[in-house]
A and B are shown apart, each in its own frame.
Chain A
Amino acid sequence: MRRFLIRRAVFAILTLWGVTIAVFILSRLGPDPLLVYVREASYGISPETIAALKEKWGLDRPLIVQYAKWVGALLQGDLGESVAAQRSVVLIISEKVPATAQLASIAWVIATVPGVALGVLSAVKRGSTWDYTARAIALIGQATPSFWLALVMILVFSVQLDWLPSATRGDPNDPLFARLRHFVMPAIVLALGPWAVYMRLTRSSMLEVLDTEFVKLARAKGVGNTMVLWKHALRNALIQPLTVSAVVLASFITGAVFVETVFAWPGIGRLAVQATLDNDFPILAGVVLMFGVAYLALNFLADLAYAVVDPRIRYS
């Protein structure tokens, strides 16, 4: 276990290092490095100002020095200052994290619990109406662009039926129920794709497990159906969906960019889009690095979760 943890930590550090290199190279690919800080660089800006700005962000130095300075600051937890807001990036990101985290955790619950449950149901009652309905929803979930689905839902549930609010997180002083209403549509849109993944994977691995000898033996011994399904079969069938959990959670960060844009949700995703429009590189880089850290952490948790679900897996 200890060796596994060390290996994991080393890999995580190397990966993050790789991410910083990727981000740096990408940001310097353009014709003018000033573009990642200023919109329309050289347009109506005097050469003196340009030189001063380049000096301010260290863009007049050799690339390797720029990179070293940037990573040096990162190591001290300094992500720099936002160009547009003139405030610390760490502060801005930390203000936006709760909104995205709340949305993503609710979406994760919506995706996993019904996803796994319907996957089981669909496998057990193969060929039934349940099976076909669940598979049809999964099909829609995988083929619909989330930003478009969000628009359709707004059109139906906010405009036509007037049941749910169409944007923002609501007033923090509102009662809990009123605030929860704001979560309904964004969370469902964010959850639909991952839900489909969980449902399909649970269904196919459940079908496989139900066909194995040990399930047949359990039935032959006279173990009750409920026990066979939930204890013998599901526990083994869960391994597949678990392997993708980190990928699914990571997909929430991508999904959040679209969902937050459409529903005007004040989170990380919208921050990233706004930073793109403002050519605010420090913020964008901060969001990408935060994503990298979150992804690695989630991956690690998923690995640990395996060992709990499947005692055969021993990390050595």
Chain B
Amino acid sequence: MVVITRKSLVSRSPLSACKRTFDFFRRWPVIPGVIIGCLAAGAIFAGSLTPYDPKRGDLDARNMPPVWVSDGEWAHPLGTDRVGRDMFSRLLYGARISLMVAGVAVSVGTITGTAAGLVAGYFGGLVDETLMRLVDLWSALPFLLIALILAVSVGPSLWMVIGLLAFSSWSAGARNIRGDVLSLKTRDYVALAKVSGASAPRIMYRHLLPQVTHIAIVITTLRIGSLIIAEAGLSFLGVGVPASVPTWGIMIAEGRQYLLTTWWIAILPGMAIFATVTAFNFLGDWTRDRLDPRLRQLV
């Protein structure tokens, strides 16, 4: 007689251990989480992580290559730029700007978009029509070109960039949330709330908002990556954050002329952007698949 034990059923071969690890990484966004966590920690504690001032150059240490290239030194692990500013410090402080701009912009955009979607969907009629036409108008506005006009009329500033990116990111949320609210508001529990005398703001806040929060979360996480790229792009063109502030986009713009000799000045910040945006996109895909796979058709 063969005795089947629990042990013999669950194979413990090294191959299946590999597969389990692989499945675990597929199931949970560990790597993106680690990247974003490290980046956030680096951005917050940049001051104590590096001894160098990201804005102060050291003319004795100009154009030093990263440590893995010959002549590189551990004093400046990622090298220095044309005026001897430490690349690693600048990347950390750049992460601070990128994450702050994208974070604030996406929060403001999401809150506005959610509110607009709730109001449009709940009230319907003229309010809905007006708000939705506004959403359509919004998508016809070229935000990069608007940034150029603002850079000329007002001058580049951190708050201008945040405001602009926030303005550019409310419409997707508004459209999707409105769609869901349209069907949600016909449910019985909403009618019941109405009958028992709940006011419109209360119904929207207590009864409808919790039903659409997941859409807001998914759109937010999917959007952060593109906002980081947009911020870097504005800085690259010189119409974003003022050039005295170290940001990834400005670093790429500065390194661009010296691509042939000191390539790392332009290449490293780009890699930082790529890693960050990929991490956020993965996280966004994961939250979407978990919370609402219908949103897969979003661009």
Contacts and interface: CB of A to CB of B under 8 A. Distances in A.
Contacts of A285: 149
A289 B138 CA distance: 14
B256 interface: yes
A19 B270 contact: no
Nearest to B139: A247
Contacts, number: 150
Interface of A: 11, 14-15, 18-19, 22-23, 26-31, 33, 35-36, 139-140, 142-149, 151-152, 154-155, 159, 197, 201, 204-205, 240, 244, 247, 250, 253-254, 257-258, 261-262, 272-273, 275-277, 279, 281, 284-285, 287-288, 291-292, 295-296, 299
Given A144-B274, A148-B252, A288-B142, A30 B153 contact: yes
Contacts of B120: none
A272 B150 CA distance: 13
Contacts of A29: 150, 153-154
B218 interface: no
18 contacts: A26-B146, A29-B150, A30-B152, A30-B155, A36-B152, A139-B278, A142-B225, A142-B277, A148-B273, A151-B270, A155-B263, A247-B299, A254-B142, A254-B145, A272-B148, A276-B148, A281-B149, A288-B149
A36 B154 CA distance: 9
B274 A295 contact: no
Contact of A273 (B137, B237, B277): B237
Contact of B140 (A36, A148, A204, A296): A296
A143 to B, nearest CB: 4
Given A247-B299, A250-B142, A258-B236, A15 B136 contact: yes
B299 A201 contact: yes
A19 B239 contact: no
B252 A273 contact: no
Contacts of B153: 26-30, 33, 35-36, 281
Contacts of A287: 145
Given A18-B140, A23-B146, A28-B153, 7 more contacts: A15-B136, A26-B150, A26-B153, A31-B154, A36-B152, A159-B259, A258-B236
The 5 nearest A-B residue pairs measured at CB: A148-B270, A30-B153, A143-B277, A143-B278, A276-B148
A61 B10 CA distance: 84
A276 B239 CA distance: 8
Interface in B208-266: 225, 229, 232-233, 236-239, 249, 252, 256, 259-260, 263, 266
